[in-house]
Amino acid sequence: MNVHETDIGDWRTLDGAPVDGDPVGGDTDDADAVFAHVSDLHGQLTPRHQVYYDNPTSGPEFDFGDDDRVIERGGGIPLLAAKLDELREAYDACTLMSGDTFHGSAVTAYTDGRAMLAPVNGHVAPDVYVPGNWDYSNEAAEDGAFLELMDDLDAPILANNLYDWETEERLYDAYRVFEVGGLSVGVVGMTNVYVDRMAPAFYEGKYRFGKHPALLEESARAAREDGADVVVAVTEIGLPWMVQAAKDCPSVDVAFSAHTHEYTYDPIVVEETETVVVESGMGDALGRVDLRVRDGKVQFRHRLYCLTEDGEHTPEPDADAAETVEAVRAPFFEETPGFERGAGTLDRSLETVVGRTEKSLSRQSLLESAWNTLFNDALRAHFDTDLAVSHGFRYGTAVPPGDVTLGELYTFFPMTTPVARGVAYGQQLTTHMERFLEDSFTPYPYDQEDGRVRNFSSNVEVTIDPTAKRGRRLVELRVDGETVDPEETYSVATFRRPGDPERDLGNCGFPFRDVEVDDGTIPVDVIAEYLDEHSPVDYEVTGLVETAEDGGRAQNTPADGPYPFIQPGVDYASGEAYCETAMIPRGNAFPEAGRNRTR
């Protein structure tokens, strides 16, 4: 038996049943093919702090003591490279990489993502790359940057749903068939389907995105017809979407999901279609799935390695990778780096301490996070407005109590877009919030987008009902304790997204009045300014977003309930019942007339 097999679970068939009579250490115990999954790197070159949650049904193997969460430091290219090298030395391993690689830090922001190329090509060395939504974000500053990044990756790019804007021709292969450890493996790739709902500058005039899950099934069938013994899908759309697709696309054996930053310590098994779904965190973890075929049946085993420093299964960092990473990062730690991009200027080292926090700051959550509240309070203070609103972003490092550095601020908001303010009617604010609740709590997983709701400054309270019908999920929105008046106007602080209409701010989707853009100030500047004045700050989740007493419950983090994933799922069994995404029934119909392959 290979030494690495002590790190991984027991063999099971694809319907989840244990394999009987598997002789430990015998010839039938080894894998035919091993897959390593890297996802949502978000510019993480070196170890960062991350919050991990204890959950009743699925959690990491940490000592949580009396708490339900713990902050550990880990991840980064040198640790990922070392773990991948371990697997490659022991097996004919295939490395699959889901996107959101070229965004997420000051280093990526000020190099249009290009700083990631040498570390990824030289040390992660993926065998397949599937683009993520944020991989398109550098288009906002330089037209064509996405295609240039993909051209310079030393890996096949797979995206069965990405088309040229003008010709409507597919830009990359839908699948490829590889020989991995004696198995003929079809790998299907599908990029994010929501990019055209995120920012016009990312896609308009350049790309079209096929959205229908039938595309996944068609590509999987084509791979089988091309000789594949097994088919794996690599996607960057989100866990609820992928779980539902696993129920509707029986030709896929294993699906490697990404985008919603979930940690599937235990794989999701869809028994009806014999499909396994896993998601592998965000740059601090490495997902592993072993496959073998015995008596004509595909069997699997799975392990999610959280590569925390000093972790049981964490190797020593790869020295060559560390050297490459430090060479890339060095210019950003000079006294005056002098980088410019968009509205941003980096005029001091990323290790500059900009403030202190009494409690940890993170935002790996759905409804509310301490970090997003802090950010919105900083926006509100900068403009002296009635309230502030921003994306409920979920990526970014965790910051333990203590000093906060400039580099850590950039991991939370790495875009160099200017901050802005405007005036909105109360009706516009409530309609906008309702639209985002629809994205998160729709009973149709293919319509769920990001697993987040809009976040506000600390003077705004929200009551929601996840199980209400469309258009009724926002129960109440209060500013300074008063219910928002639909006919009153409110001054709002937020930011300007590149490519949006002149009066549309912060992805709100409606025209503001009296718009004022601070062209020389980016979100990081505003947060640093606020920390300088208010440190040490003391933020925690305080229930600014709550669910109605007579409505359905929505958990904020995996520690808040039995469902081990942040993204919710809602179904309407008997009209009102709330259920988890994994329980949503299979069998969505794919009417031919309703399919649009290119929009």
> What CATH number does the domain containing 91 carry?
3.60.21.10
**pLDDT average, residue stretch 273-288:** 95
**Does residue 455 share a domain with residue 522?**
yes
Using CA atoms, how far apart are residues 597 and 441, in angstroms rounded to an integer? 25
Supply the range of the domain harboring residue 361.
Answer: 333-579
pLDDT at position 443, please?
Answer: 73
pLDDT at position 4: 56
- 21 pLDDT band (50/70/90 cuts)? low
- Grade residue 3 by pLDDT with cuts at 50, 70 and 90: very low
The chain-wide mean pLDDT, for the chain, equals 90
Helix or strand run (H / E) with residue 69? strand 69-74
- CB–CB of 126/253 below 8 Å? no
More confident residue, 189 or 436: 189
Does residue 273 sit in the same domain as residue 376? no
Backbone Cα Rg of the chain: 23
Q: How far apart are CA 407 and CA 26, in angstroms?
A: 50
Give the pLDDT score at 594. Answer: 37
Taking residues 567-573, report their average pLDDT: 48
* Three-state secondary-structure class, residue 513: strand
Q: Mean pLDDT over residues 46-71, rounded?
A: 92
* Beta bridge partners of residue 291, listed in sequence order: 33, 300
Give the CATH number of the domain where residue 346 resides. 3.90.780.10
How many independent structural domains does the chain possess? Answer: 2
Whole-angstrom distance, CA of residue 2 vs CA of residue 540: 45
What per-residue confidence (pLDDT) applies to 455? 94
What is the value of pTM for the model shown? 0.94
Residue 186 has pLDDT above 50, yes or no: yes
pLDDT > 50? residue 25 = no
Give the closest residue to 33 by CA, choosing from 231, 224, 264: 231
Residue bearing the bigger pLDDT, 174 or 282: 174
- Average pLDDT rounded to a whole number, residues 475-483: 98
Confidence band (pLDDT; 50, 70, 90) for 593?
A: very low
Q: What is the pLDDT of residue 196?
A: 85
The more confident residue out of 27 and 68 is 68
Position 206 confidence tier, pLDDT thresholds 50, 70, 90: very high
* 319 and 344 inside one domain: no
96-105, 152-161, 432-441, 448-457: which range is least confident on average? 448-457
- Looking at the structure, do residues 309 and 343 belong to the same domain, yes or no? no
Q: Is pLDDT above 50 for 583?
A: no
Per-residue pLDDT, averaged over 275-287, amounts to: 94
Residue 333 has pLDDT above 50, yes or no: yes
Would 22 be classed as within a structural domain?
A: no
Among 307, 325, 343, which residue terminates a domain? Answer: 325
Could you give the percent of the chain with pLDDT greater than 70? 91
- In this prediction, residues 202-219 reach a mean pLDDT of 92
Mean pLDDT of 242-269: 93
Q: What integer is the mean pLDDT of 210-214?
A: 90
Is position 15 within any domain? Answer: no
Tell me, yes or no, whether 186 and 238 share the same domain.
Answer: yes
What residues pair up with 175 in beta bridges, in sequence order? 188
- Confidence class of residue 448 from pLDDT cuts 50, 70 and 90? confident
Same-domain status, 292 and 338 = no
User: Which tokens belong to 216?
Assistant: 């996944």
